[in-house]
Amino acid sequence: MSNLLDGIKPTLLMGPGPSCVYDEVYAALGKPTIGHLDPYFIKIMDAVKEDLMAAIGTGNHLTMPMSGTGSSGMETCFVNLVEPGDKVLILTNGVFGKRMEDVAGRLGAEVDSVHFEWGTPVLLEEVEKKLKGKSYAIVAVVHAETSTGVRNPVAEVGRLVRSSGALYLVDCVTSLGGIPVRMDEWGADALYSGTQKCLSCPPGLAPLSFSDRAVNRVKARKSKVPNWYLDLTMIMHYWEGNTRAYHHTAPINMIYALYAALRHFLEEGQDKAHARHQDAHERLVAGLEKLGISMYVDKASRLPMLNAVTIPQGVDDAGVRSRLLKEYGIEIGNGLGTLAGKIWRIGLMGHTARPENVDRLLAALASCIK
């Protein structure tokens, strides 16, 4: 009987995620599985929590990885913080802002949005105007919009939100590990991320952190959290305290992997890791310019780890991506929504963000677009 796993070939992952995985993270996945209430596993959980706090830039006691990909982090924030009738403001300039709108709306929130052109950042004057005279329970924004390659001014938005009294929710799925994430400095009350982007860990966990204000909001709910699996009023008792209460079986080996990935990130040094992403980005931009290929996003708002690249006129989008994968073993991403067929999304995330990988892609791309 044939084994399909034997047919998996190494791929240089240069799309919007997942990214290439460190060898020590793969090794961690292969460690013996122990029980999710084993005292030694609880030591690993505590270490993961401490490292996450350092990586996220927070002193929040409620900091942990949720079981599930980054989208489970998003759902966790909304199902715990939103009750029917709550007014929620979403600042939207891409697919993942729109996903926030959908999730909040399903929970019965009164969703208000400010929409910005895809490929451009959130404009502070528009946010300030929207907040004036309004009372929102939550204001939410995406730090690094994966669908467009735009970095939003989350620190500045945070200052505006703070004076409004709303809770501030930030999506850091793509940014964590690639550019500075400073939750407490931003005044963020809820933040979530994913493991498969700049942390170079396989997909499957969603790092998350709630401020004391957010925790108090959860504890003061008038209605029960509508999602049992993501109910933090129960899950926090598994991640905190001397006596751990079973909620669901943790993805044990994935938590080993996150432990190894966070160790790698912190031992490299956050500043060095961020600089490595920026250097790889600049090398890519310079190489693309030589090929006559331009960036879609203005320089001031570009993400280094997710590069939105304008597809040259007359070039077959799907054809190039297919050749890169089949002939060169390189994956890049297509455009989403209104940007489908207009851009490629080139990821330089975590372990992938290295000069030799950039050069390999540029050489392959030059061949494909001749």
The full DSSP string for 256-302 is HHHHHHHHHHHHH-HHHHHHHHHHHHHHHHHHHHHTT--BSS-GGGB
Alpha helix (H) ranges present in 92-209? 95-106, 124-131, 154-164, 183-186
Q: How many Cβ atoms sit within 10 Å of the Cβ of residue 340?
A: 10
Tell me the pLDDT tens digit for each residue of 91-110: 999 999 999 999 999 999 99
Residue 59: both structure tokens together:
């002193």
The pLDDT value given to residue 216 = 97
The confidence band for 316, taking pLDDT boundaries of 50, 70 and 90, is: very high
The pLDDT value given to residue 1 = 82
The pLDDT value given to residue 30 = 98
Cβ contact 54:207 at 8 Å? no
In angstroms, rounded to a whole number, what is the distance separating the alpha carbons of residues 86 and 328?
50
Residue 55: both structure tokens together:
């990586």
pLDDT at 133 over 90: no
pLDDT at 242 over 90: no
pLDDT at 370 over 90: no
User: Is the whole model's pTM more than 0.75, yes or no?
Assistant: yes
In angstroms, rounded to a whole number, what is the distance separating the alpha carbons of residues 48 and 256?
9
The confidence band for 321, taking pLDDT boundaries of 50, 70 and 90, is: very high
Rounded average pLDDT over 146-154: 98
The confidence band for 29, taking pLDDT boundaries of 50, 70 and 90, is: very high
Q: How many Cβ atoms sit within 10 Å of the Cβ of residue 120?
A: 15
Domains of the chain (ranges plus CATH)? 4-18+270-368 (3.90.1150.10), 28-266 (3.40.640.10)
Tell me the pLDDT tens digit for each residue of 263-278: 999 999 999 999 999 9
In angstroms, rounded to a whole number, what is the distance separating the alpha carbons of residues 364 and 176?
29
- Among left, alpha and beta (phi > 0; psi -120 to 50; other), residue 352 is alpha
**Can you say how many angstroms the Cα of residue 71 is from the centroid of all Cα atoms in its chain?**
9
List CB contacts of 148: < 8 A, sequence separation 6 or more. Answer: 93, 94, 118, 119, 296, 297, 308, 339
Residue with tokens 């996220």: 56
- 3-state DSSP assignment of residue 343: strand
